Amino acid sequence: MTDLYRKIESEFDSSEREAEINTFWDKHAIFQKSLELRANSPRFIFYEGPPTANGMPHIGHAIARTIKDTVCRFKTMKGYLVERKAGWDTHGLPVELEVEKMLGISTKDQIEKMGIEKFNAECKKSVFKYKAEWDEYTRKLGYWLDLSNPYITYTNDYVETVWWILKKFWESKLLYKGFKILPWCPRCETALSSHEVAQGYKEISDPSIYVTIKVAGTTDTYFLVWTTTPWTLISNVALALNPSENYVTVQYGDSKLILAEPRLGVLQGSFEIIDRKKGSEYRGIKYEPLYSFMKIEKGHYVATADFVTMEDGSGIVHIAPAFGADDYELGMQEDLPVVQAVDIEGHFVKEVTPWAGWFVKKADPEIIKDLERRGLLFHSTIYTHNYPFCWRCDTPLLYYARSSWFVRTTAFKDKMIEANNKIAWYPEEVGKGRFGEWLENNIDWALSRERYWGTPLPVWLCEKCEAEHCIGSIDELRKMAVDFPKVDDPYKDFDLHRPFIDNIHLKCPSCGGTMTRVTEVIDTWFDSGSMPYGQVHYPFEHQDDFEKRFFPAELIAEGLDQTRGWFYSMLAISVFISGRSSYKSCVVNNLILDSEGRKMSKRVGNVIDPKKLLADYGADAVRWYLMSASQVWLPKRFDEKSLNEVIKRFFSTLQNSYSFYALYANIDRFRPAESDPPARERTQMDRWILSRLQWMISEADESLAENDITRCTRAIADFTVDDLSNWYVRRSRRRFWGSSDDHDKKSAYQTLFECLITITRLMAPVAPFLSEDLYRRLTENLGGHLPSVHLNDFPKAEESLRDKSLEEEMEIARKVVELGRAARKDSSMRVRQPLSRLVALGLSDIERQMLKKMESIVADEINIKRLDFDNNEAAYFSMKAEPDFKSIGPKFGPRVNEIAGKIKSMTRDQISKLMADERFSWADDGHVSSIEMSDVRIKIVPAEGYSVSADGRIKVALDLRLDDDLVAEGNARELVNRIQNMRKAAGLEVTDRIMLGISRNAETEKALAKFSEYIKSETLTEHLTDKSELRQSQEFELNGIKTVIALERI
């Protein structure tokens, strides 16, 4: 006869199971059916952040994708239509650098020599280099996405939408060309935006030097100047002092040094102040330049500026307008030249003869040596600081005067801040802190990139009148172009990328002249930030239903590094275009670190291979661990031991509970029937677990609704392990196999089935594979159930089944049982040895009443005959308090010995009050001293014949005195345990009957005299003899006497 409930194989392989489940989902189109089922339901709009598919997925992607999948599955089960469109970020430096590596090139000259067309063709091929790996990773992780119809940022549809957005900025005069100091990557030869720079900071060591610059017309007077970029001294054109601060001239050895008075601490040794002036009085004083490689007509004098601070250095700043924002602004005010001694690759130009062609950072040590040789180096040291590196190629950035195209985000900064305040951030401090502060300090978006593979900046300039025009659509381009190629479908037959777009010219609407496109492409973050619109080709499609179906998103979820990346670009674009944020809530996950708390890197060798991880442990275990180990927004130490613990504690326990159910339900051919028997007619234990189940449903529902997946997973695991398995199933075992009461057995089956199937639905969003597997095993042969757990609704708590009084009664019973077990363990008394009584101490009258209702459970759990109550604790134990000096030392300082003495002299009543209130105070001479439980160690000394355990005010005393009847019963229980273990070792089925032989001696005679029927009933024994020649036999000691047990199946 076929089993109703499939057994879980002993050699269970989670990755094999998950592969089978994936096949089942594909074969039966479960993902599609979950959408079709909700086709007419309210929408939960979700945006998938686009990864770049020319790099392999890593373990960090697992946490964000688990969060997103969990929320989307949960919302689907809550009755929403949740469409999930995949996306790919296909432009920009990440792609270009991979192609450069593949082609063995590294400069823009090499790219242009091979041809932009060929290079971009390679880029287009490269973008999906690892798409198969990404798709497989997504599938194995159980992340449901529509991978068949993704948005792709390089398509003409998407680019056209981006152009439309850019034209909106241009029409509002918020897209402009400017000349500013920009973060510049000398390797990629392009400017970067502030949000790109924010992603690439590293801690490095750089030189910190003080140089002396001679005042013109003097022989021994010098300005003392501090810099951390010696290479910029080549381009120095001025010195800046704070006009309102005091500056002093000091006699320092044979020289006179000028520096800010608040910064005199930088001088070592003795000196004498010989003059004092305000910084403003130095304005216009000339000095002798350190270097004269670059000829200038104006410069090398003192200017004043408020940005000069007294916090570090000498209070005198060297000014090189080509390499600093403050320097540039001061240079503009003073009409100083921008001396560019460095080329776009970060190398000194030929005029800087000693170091021509050197990368500037590598030239620093040689410049320092040169200054020292010339007697101009006052002091040199190394300091550690955070410095920006290119977020993609890892090259140190330079701040470089350069023309670029900008989006004037500062014009609507306040609107972005207002919109951000309406976003629900998880955690809240990211939105208010890291992101909010970023917005407060917003600067214009440096948009253009002097690169090749990207969305072309759709700005054309007239060669004749210098007019400017921004194109906002393909149709507009065709109408204005004088040389657009003849094609049937411009979306399919014309590539909008370089170099093809560079060959398209427009007729100037102002003068009729020829307009040529600027050469730049745009920041790839603008592409990804446009995805709410670009993914559906808005406004060229979906004008009527855009805000109903696609905007804004209820949720986005990505890593903390996206705070100044995707989160910012999406907000900036949508606030301008739509007047509000494109996302209502955002869950931000933190980094995954190694087990020692270090960032993962190939250099350190601590990178985890996600493919191997999924193969070894399965996706569900990884997902559950990542969600439950700690809140997702905290840095997470990844530890495979803890991952194994998830499997052992929760997954294995749940599967064991199912296996227990399936074993006996198959024997009895049990088929569950809703409300049969009704919950109110079931046993106390059934009603209790059903009440706890309702609590757990509410807890899971509420926590997932608040995007608190950690709280949800912990609640489910604790319920499954502590309430269901360790308490309900363990206490109900004999009801399943030994009960002669059909109603009671049916009640137990029905209750356990309801718990198990509800757990599968509750855990489905986080652990989609195991939940599906157990759900199918529970339902596939019953009929009347949906084919997949993921097509079910999320459970709803039935308040009518909630019995809080019963839960409180059981809670105190479990507490007393826990203490009773501890007391038995401390006494070394065998668990199977019955004892006469347990005395509960310190309970209130209400607690006594509640516990009295649970007396049979307590008695059975602790193996006692009766439960007593008493308030006379002194009859059972004495107490002594000892100080914990590690705790009270820092707290009380010089009074520690006084407090220690008070603790040692505490009376029994005082100790009891401390244990009850977890705090105790003394008043001496008007001075109050308070201690807490953590300040003391309570030593309990049991009275003769008792073992005592305590937790705060609740204590139990276990009576250890034995009589002959108790000893006999203990022996009987020990025999039953030995026999059951032998049955298991012999491979007997739970229903097999046996012949049993027990050797006779003083100890076995005691047991058999009173408990032979008990032994036979518990072990399914048909015939009990004293034979020891049966098929299976074992010798052991029973209370020190050798005893033989033998058995064989009948």
Asked which of 29-33, 46-50, 179-183, 854-858 is least confident by mean pLDDT, the reply is 179-183
Q: Which of 258, 239, 259, 241 lies closest to 319, judged by CA? A: 239
Domain ranges of the chain: 201-388, 809-874, 877-942, 964-1049
Give the mean pLDDT of the chain. Answer: 92
Give 877-942's CATH code, choosing from 3.40.50, 3.30.10, 3.30.720, 1.10.240.
3.30.720
Give me the helices (H) in 463-559, please. Answer: 474-480, 490-493, 524-529, 531-534, 546-549
Residue 345 CA to chain centroid, in angstroms? 38
Give residue 386's region: left, alpha or beta (phi > 0; psi -120 to 50): beta
Q: What pLDDT digit, counting tens, does each position of 542-557 carry? A: 999 999 999 999 999 9
Mean pLDDT of 43-61: 89
Distance CA 823, CA 959 (A): 10
**pLDDT class of 571 with cuts at 50, 70, 90:** very high
- Each residue of 582-612: pLDDT tens digit? 999 999 999 888 887 888 776 677 888 888 8
Task: Report, as an integer, the average pLDDT of 128-155.
Answer: 94
Q: What is the pLDDT of residue 916?
A: 83
Mean pLDDT of 922-945: 87
Q: How far apart are CA 488 and CA 508, in angstroms?
A: 25
Residue 637 predicted with pLDDT over 90: no
The percentage of residues in the chain with a pLDDT greater than 70, rounded to a whole number, is: 98
Please give the average per-residue pLDDT across 820-845, as a whole number.
93
What CATH number is given for 964-1049 in this structure?
Answer: 3.30.2320
Q: Over the stretch 238-257, which tens digit does the pLDDT of each residue have?
A: 999 999 999 999 999 999 99
In which band, very low, low, confident or very high, does the pLDDT at 60 lie, cut at 50, 70 and 90?
Answer: confident
Do 201-388 and 964-1049 have matching folds?
A: no
Reduced 3-state DSSP string for 227-264: ECCHHHHHHCCEEEECCCCEEEEEEECCEEEEEEHHHH
The dihedral sign for the CA sequence 462, 466, 467, 473: positive
Q: 12 falls in which pLDDT band (50, 70, 90)?
A: low
| Maximum C-alpha span of the chain | 122
pLDDT in tens, 967-1024: 999 999 999 999 999 999 999 988 899 999 999 999 999 899 999 999 999 999 999 9
3-state secondary structure labels for all residues of 676-731: CCCHHHCCHHHHHHHHHHHHHHHHHHHHHHCCCHHHHHHHHHHHHHHHHHHHHHHH
Q: Determine the average pLDDT of the residues in 199-214.
A: 86
For domain 201-388, the CATH architecture is Alpha-Beta Complex (3.90)
Mean pLDDT, residues 891-895: 89
Chain segment 833-847, per-residue pLDDT in tens: 999 999 999 899 999
Which band of pLDDT confidence, cut at 50, 70 and 90, is reported for residue 414?
very high
What token pair was written down for 284?
């216009």
Q: Are 396 and 201 in contact (CB under 8 A)?
A: no
User: For 943, which DSSP code?
Assistant: P
Amino acid at 83: E
Check residues 815 and 438 and name the one with the higher pLDDT.
815
Confidence of residue 862 (pLDDT cuts 50, 70, 90): very high
483-498 pLDDT tens trace: 999 998 999 999 999 9
Residue 539 has pLDDT above 80, yes or no: yes
At residue 738, the pLDDT reads: 65
Which amino acid, one-letter code, is at 344?
Answer: I
Q: Is the pLDDT of residue 350 over 90?
A: yes
Average pLDDT over residues 281-305: 94
Q: Average pLDDT in the 350-361 region? A: 93
Q: Does 783 have pLDDT greater than 70?
A: yes
**Crossing angle of helices 804-827/855-862, nearest 10°?**
30
DSSP code string of 110-125: HHHHH-HHHHHHHHHH
**What digits encode the pLDDT tens for the residues 655-669?**
999 999 999 999 999
Measured in whole angstroms, the distance separating CA 617 from the mean position of its chain's CA atoms is 19
Mean of pLDDT values over 782-796: 95
Judged against a pLDDT cut of 60, whether residue 739 lies above it is answered with: no
Band of residue 709 on the pLDDT scale cut at 50, 70, 90: very high
Q: According to the model, what pLDDT value does residue 568 have?
A: 95
Q: Which residues are catalytic?
A: 50, 89, 525, 562, 566, 599, 602
| Better-scored residue on pLDDT, 93 or 514 | 514
Please give the average per-residue pLDDT across 232-242, as a whole number: 96
User: Which of the residue ranges 273-277, 463-467, 675-679 would you say has the lowest mean pLDDT?
Assistant: 675-679
- What confidence score (pLDDT) does residue 741 get? 64
CA torsion angle 70 72 75 77 (round to 10):
-70
pLDDT at site 187: 80
Kindly report the pTM of this predicted structure.
0.84
pLDDT score of 198 more than 70: no
pLDDT band at 374 (very low <50, low <70, confident <90, very high): very high
**pLDDT greater than 70 at residue 965:** yes
